Structure 1
């Protein structure tokens, strides 16, 4: 320990000394030794100690004065009667008259007098005897929505609180709960009024809003859940005609991480985008609702089943909210206007069953069509010694994924490695077993294929070829980065908690740019292994079509996508991504970190 570490926490110092006595431990001990010697950890420990020490003290700080500004004014008045002044007197007089100092003193007095709470009018006293169970709630109206929705109860016809948005003003008050009956708003009775009428009252209100409510006993606010999900589709609440309240909707894009704070409603979850500073949650369709929509869309348009076109998320005709539902947030509001005589769209009890079959490569297309991409529960996977994630490049034939793999490996052959493929063909005299290929008999390879030992395999000119799962695991266990460019149907065998791959979709540019860039680079066709020639226009079209199909069937598995328009730019993006995978915490399926 040098002089710079003399002030380190004694507990950390003792722990570090004990660690030096450990003779073995390998990378774990080395990592812990480096961590204990870091200045950042020592600084955090010191901050922790000071906070704990402050909490343990019995004495608390109290202001000496609560009228510092008044004292200052009295001093200035006294200075007005002084005839003989000195230099110090003049400096003090100027200082006490500065607006910044007076503002600080006024702020001090406001804090000392606790004069920073909202000033609410007195609670109305003219209550009837029968209103013993009525509660009066007053909220200060601001630019922030109130964060609650209302509806007409179908049985009683009364206006009730439909839901309270987590983190909103109503939720933070702790006084408004779902199921509470609304009797009055700002002294105006809501009897025989519609939710739209109540909205008009709220919109015209200024200052404070006073609610008279009949509490719904036993229905207090629920705690926020800790579930995080990755969205597997795009959602725009303004285009959803069936959301109970458009202003309460949360828009998101495919790939966004969402914090699901409430799943109390079977149709509409409450969520926030991870990292957003806005505390009020928004409404998003639940998994069951979105699956029902997608199934309804596929049944209505069978062409989406062939995977040749992207799934359209235009919603079906039936309505999901009743005519009585509307929003109680501040600002311009438009109550729901469902289709007349509409019925609920695919309620939970009648949602079509998703076919459950065991993966069989012979039925791969049928299996893929049954995937309903909505949300995937995720958690953060933190990098640590011994955890090396394979990088999987997937894309249509001819898009350039193999060339990107070769160039990535060439940047650092000691770090990036690809497994040696197996084959049943005869070994040539110029080849070395285990270098270009691992040569085995056809019988042996067929048996290994039957036993599921290959992540992918195929046949060419009567010979079998394949990638061994054991080879992939050997590379991963050696601490190197395994780089793969398999056929897309191998993804389900690769995307497992054991390997935890990072899957990159190599996407072609538009057809026009694809033809232009490949022609300029004198690219050779990968569709013809017999001779070297340029791509045909039909082959370029096949690349686009195949890419769309892969994205349709497997897009929910992709962690990132790279548009391979310019090979050098795509490689640069791939290198940055490869560094991030091994050095930053990333979101992965929750089962991978449990």
Structure 2
């Protein structure tokens, strides 16, 4: 028995020296050391020998165990090793492991297995009537499988972060190799710039493959892409190279030694655009393909301000449809260049009517963007207004402000609304300093106040608009509007454009609708003269250009009944849908 035990120990030692993960190779006369072949028969024989050695060692171990419980444990292990199913699985495991090593596939394919599991589970919900889908859902919901995938992702992420195959360049800089999968559905999402003969990653755009992988960073230098050397090439050359490549991409990089951590948890900011932007007209946009066009009044969700000159944003409604964020001009950058545009226009009248920039002096123009002498116009330049969603309470309706040029019909529309639903709509009672007439009641036709009281409220900013007629003061006081709001009714106001800023800076939260005149105007059944129509349209266009950033909606008053219907639709929407309002209104 002792001799048998010694033989078992020797066999066990031999098995430990010959690792189960070692590859059994045979070399023929015409095969070099770099072209090995896998001998399946030798592999199967070696696997069986290892199992036999392990069984003999366990039998020898049982003899040295004193307690019955330990002997039973070893016996269970021996019975497991003797099962044909286990031996098949053991053989399969070794075969896969050795093949993977032979193919050098140790690199993790993804670090988002848990995310893929969630996506698969969402897809399976559509097939819940099938037993197979239900079984697979139960399997994927198993806490053990979820824990396994979570552990896999942690290890894989560490592997990907360390998978730099980090070597040293002749210049002494560390390089790393990064592998990404480029698809047509999700863009890569990086922009590059030239620094001398180097190609540097200038930006990683949110939502792209590069950002999701976390393997490319701003400031990294690209040396090669799929073996193609890019050092010394222009930005356009690199763009063309990447455009022609799809599928697996391998980047050889020099990591940025001063790489700053991207503010992934940066607060989301919502802004309303107060100007139109078309990337094709912008000579300074870093990448037109990644830029986002928008119109005045569009709401933009800014997700990154890491680059103060070029923010990353989604247009409201696009964030669930487009995976990649778009580039928009940063507020300060837009203000400075618009200020420079005005300054250049003022100083160079001979260039009036021409485009404000020249390709020849583009670099000089960029430098002037940050010239402090250009800042004189900045306060007057409209860029973005920070906004938030607001849902009006059922008992505090927002006042409706109608604005437009004279003869555009805004007062007539107000009267129609008042007559249609008098229990719902009402007008604010104006204040005046004149003496009431015999039939007039204070609080009904006017709020009659003293001149001293009127002037005191005027100095306090309580009047939305005011004026003087025949030495008497008239005006609309915010107290009158608040009284209507508190009653639960909707206050209808027709105001002058200069009053809009006042009513918006109050706590009334107005909803402003611009009444645009139709192309062809009629009055009393007769058409206006062409020159009158042209003048009115011109004035309305100028009003919209100057005050359009304050409008919540626009209605073209071509037909009164249609306009009333559109007004009612907008007003009813305030009860059912939240609206974007200035952030200061809800803070």
Shift of 1:447: 4.7
Structure 2: distance between partners of 1:541 and 1:128: 73
Q: 1:246 aligns with which of 261, 284, 288?
A: 288
Taking a change above 3 Å as real, the CA distance of residues 458 and 538 of structure 1, as seen in their structure-2 partners, is farther
1:4-403 matched pairs, under 5 angstroms: 133-143=174-184, 144-154=186-196, 157-217=197-257, 218-223=259-264, 224-276=266-318, 277=320, 278-301=322-345, 316-317=356-357, 342-344=364-366, 346-348=368-370, 350=372, 352-354=374-376, 371-403=380-412
Q: 1:432 aligns with which of 441, 457, 473?
A: 441
The structure with higher relative contact order (CA 8 Å, sep 6+) is 1
Shift of 1:205: 2.4
Corresponding residue number in structure 1 for 2:580: 587
* Unpaired stretches in structure 2, ≥5 consecutive residues: 1-88, 90-128, 150-155
Q: 1:499 aligns with which of 497, 504, 508?
A: 508
Establish whether residue 543 from structure 1 lines up as the match of residue 585 from structure 2. Answer: no
Shift of 1:177: 0.7
Taking a change above 3 Å as real, the CA distance of residues 195 and 146 of structure 1, as seen in their structure-2 partners, is same
Taking a change above 3 Å as real, the CA distance of residues 176 and 413 of structure 1, as seen in their structure-2 partners, is same
* Unpaired stretches in structure 1, ≥5 consecutive residues: 1-66, 68-99, 304-311, 320-337, 357-369, 523-533
Please list the CA deviations of residues 244-297 of structure 1 after superposition, one character each: whole Å capped at 9, or x if unmatched.
111011111111111111112232111111232213111111112222233234
Shift of 1:128: 5.8
Shift of 1:580: 1.3
Shift of 1:161: 0.3
Q: 2:418 aligns with which of 401, 409, 415?
A: 409
Shift of 1:313: 12
Establish whether residue 518 from structure 1 lines up as the match of residue 551 from structure 2. Answer: no
Indicate if the aligned counterparts of 2:304 and 2:311 stay in contact, CA closer than 8 A: yes
Taking a change above 3 Å as real, the CA distance of residues 221 and 162 of structure 1, as seen in their structure-2 partners, is same
Taking a change above 3 Å as real, the CA distance of residues 477 and 315 of structure 1, as seen in their structure-2 partners, is farther
Structure 1: distance between partners of 2:586 and 2:391: 9
Structure 2: distance between partners of 1:427 and 1:124: 87
Shift of 1:442: 4.8
Shift of 1:494: 0.6
Shift of 1:519: 5.3
Q: Any idea what SS the aligned residue of 2:381 has?
A: coil
Taking a change above 3 Å as real, the CA distance of residues 318 and 283 of structure 1, as seen in their structure-2 partners, is farther
Shift of 1:482: 1.3
Indicate if the aligned counterparts of 2:464 and 2:503 stay in contact, CA closer than 8 A: yes
Shift of 1:232: 1.1
Taking a change above 3 Å as real, the CA distance of residues 466 and 184 of structure 1, as seen in their structure-2 partners, is same
Taking a change above 3 Å as real, the CA distance of residues 549 and 199 of structure 1, as seen in their structure-2 partners, is closer
Q: Any idea what SS the aligned residue of 1:591 has?
A: helix
Larger radius of gyration: 2
Structure 2: distance between partners of 1:128 and 1:379: 51
Indicate if the aligned counterparts of 1:318 and 1:345 stay in contact, CA closer than 8 A: no
Establish whether residue 490 from structure 1 lines up as the match of residue 520 from structure 2. Answer: no
Please list the CA deviations of residues 84-131 of structure 1 after superposition, one character each: whole Å capped at 9, or x if unmatched.
xxxxxxxxxxxxxxxx999989999x99999xx9xx9xx897966868
Indicate if the aligned counterparts of 1:297 and 1:315 stay in contact, CA closer than 8 A: no
Please list the CA deviations of residues 328-379 of structure 1 after superposition, one character each: whole Å capped at 9, or x if unmatched.
xxxxxxxxxx7566441643353633579xxxxxxxxxxxxx5321111011
Structure 1: distance between partners of 2:397 and 2:134: 58
Corresponding residue number in structure 1 for 2:68: none
Taking a change above 3 Å as real, the CA distance of residues 454 and 192 of structure 1, as seen in their structure-2 partners, is closer
Structure 2: distance between partners of 1:394 and 1:313: 32
Shift of 1:564: 1.1
Shift of 1:153: 1.8
Runs (4+) of structure 1 exceeding 4 A deviation are 100-108, 110-114, 123-132, 300-303, 312-315, 338-342, 441-444, 534-539
For the aligned residues, what is the CA RMSD? 3.7
Structure with the bigger percentage of helix: 2
Establish whether residue 552 from structure 1 lines up as the match of residue 557 from structure 2. Answer: no
Indicate if the aligned counterparts of 1:293 and 1:315 stay in contact, CA closer than 8 A: no
Shift of 1:443: 5.4
Structure 2: distance between partners of 1:345 and 1:204: 35
Structure 2: distance between partners of 1:279 and 1:473: 45
Structure 1: distance between partners of 2:453 and 2:306: 55
Q: Any idea what SS the aligned residue of 1:316 has?
A: coil
Structure 2: distance between partners of 1:479 and 1:466: 23
Structure 2: distance between partners of 1:541 and 1:341: 43
Q: 2:488 aligns with which of 479, 492, 513?
A: 479
Q: Give the TM-score normalised by structure 1.
A: 0.65
Taking a change above 3 Å as real, the CA distance of residues 593 and 318 of structure 1, as seen in their structure-2 partners, is farther
Taking a change above 3 Å as real, the CA distance of residues 106 and 206 of structure 1, as seen in their structure-2 partners, is farther
Indicate if the aligned counterparts of 2:182 and 2:209 stay in contact, CA closer than 8 A: no
Indicate if the aligned counterparts of 2:164 and 2:176 stay in contact, CA closer than 8 A: no
Structure 2: distance between partners of 1:191 and 1:588: 49
